[in-house]
């Protein structure tokens, strides 16, 4: 009797486990894609900030010269 219950539990549990693993993987993959996008935006904003700073320094040099 016990082995029948084990087989039943396996039949029910295996697909549920696979669905859960699939959803978890999908969520993590989306998270990784979002991280790449935010990294791209972060580097762009850093470049813009550096250019602003460079421009300010040039302006100061021209004023103080």
Task: Express each pLDDT in 5-20 by its tens digit.
Answer: 888 888 888 989 999 9
Measured CA to CA, the distance from residue 31 to residue 26 in angstroms comes to 9
Q: pLDDT confidence of 47, banded at 50, 70, 90?
A: very high
- Cite the DSSP H helix spans in the chain: 2-64
Indicate the SS3 state at residue 17. Answer: helix
Measured CA to CA, the distance from residue 18 to residue 64 in angstroms comes to 69
Q: Output the pTM of the full model.
A: 0.42
What is the distance, to the nearest Å, from the Cα of residue 53 to the centroid of all Cα atoms in its chain?
29
């Amino acid at each position: 009797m016990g082995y029948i219950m084990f087989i039943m539990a396996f039949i029910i549990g295996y697909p549920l486990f696979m669905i859960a693993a699939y959803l978890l993987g999908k969520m993590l993959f989306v998270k990784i894609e979002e991280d790449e996008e935010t990294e791209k935006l972060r580097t762009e904003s850093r470049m813009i900030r550096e250019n602003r700073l460079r421009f300010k320094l040039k302006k100061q040099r021209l004023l103080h010269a």
